[in-house]
């Protein structure tokens, strides 16, 4: 997993819970990196799960809620990263529809060893998208937070429904439909 993910996660933890909590979750999780991450480094994804688990235990906040919140925070990094081209999309449906064939292609140009989740579009209309999320990391709530933040970015809202195809969350079907405000 790219180091920037760890750096952003620990920055969020410090901002929300304080530096003492950052130190405590690093110590309790016993990560091999000892919490020393660089944005360009690559680290085992198991370390992220250890940190999230330790934070969940410390704060009594579920891992799913923590991942959802982290996705919202991480969206700011993605939005400001010029290599991802988020500003080229005209609506919130086009962005998740292009993750696999555009955004991930660009990310892999910069970070060729990145382990990325798979987003397979099953069906897409002007106002909705159905896609399969596949990842050995089972971070479906991170994906959900990203989708929510995408709609906020486009000043829109959506109904997001998910169904786990594999119980552990490594394969999930998302159905996302734009909610149109009645005037």
User: Which is it for the CA torsion 117, 77, 66, 10, positive or negative?
Assistant: positive
Looking at domain 82-179, what is its CATH homologous superfamily?
H-NOX domain (3.90.1520.10)
- For the chain, report the end-to-end CA distance as a whole number of angstroms: 45
Q: Each residue of 42-95: pLDDT tens digit?
A: 888 889 999 999 999 999 999 999 999 999 999 888 777 765 567 777 888 988
pTM: 0.84
Confidence (pLDDT) at 82: 60
Residues in the chain: 183
Q: What is the pLDDT of residue 84?
A: 58
Long-range contacts, stretch 50-58, CB < 8 angstroms, 24+ apart: 51/6, 51/9, 51/10, 51/25, 51/26, 52/9, 53/29, 54/24, 54/25, 54/26, 54/28, 54/29, 55/13, 55/17, 55/21, 55/25, 57/28, 58/17, 58/21, 58/24, 58/25, 58/28
Ranges of each domain in the chain: 3-61, 82-179
Question: How much of the chain exceeds pLDDT 90, in percent?
Answer: 57
pLDDT of residue 25: 97
Residue 102 pLDDT: 73
Residues 129-140: tens digit of each pLDDT: 999 999 988 889
> In the predicted model, is pLDDT for residue 22 greater than 90?
yes
DSSP category for residue 99: I
């Amino acid at each position: 997993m790219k180091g920037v993910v760890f750096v952003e996660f620990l920055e969020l933890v410090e901002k929300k819970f304080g530096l003492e909590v950052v130190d405590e979750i690093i110590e309790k999780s016993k990560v091999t990196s000892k919490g020393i991450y660089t944005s360009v480094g690559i680290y085992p994804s198991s370390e992220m799960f250890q940190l999230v688990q330790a934070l969940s235990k410390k704060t009594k906040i579920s891992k799913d809620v923590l991942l959802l919140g982290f996705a919202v925070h991480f969206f700011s990094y993605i939005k400001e990263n010029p290599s991802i081209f988020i500003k080229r999309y005209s609506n919130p449906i086009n962005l998740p529809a292009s993750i696999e064939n555009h955004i991930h292609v660009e990310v892999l140009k910069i970070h060729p060893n990145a382990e990325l989740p798979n987003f397979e579009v099953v069906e897409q209309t002007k106002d909705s998208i159905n896609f399969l999320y596949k990842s050995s990391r089972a971070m479906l709530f991170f994906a959900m937070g990203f989708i929510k933040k995408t709609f906020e970015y486009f000043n829109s809202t959506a109904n997001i429904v998910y169904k786990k195809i594999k119980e552990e969350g490594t394969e999930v079907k998302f159905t996302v439909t734009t909610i149109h405000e009645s005037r």
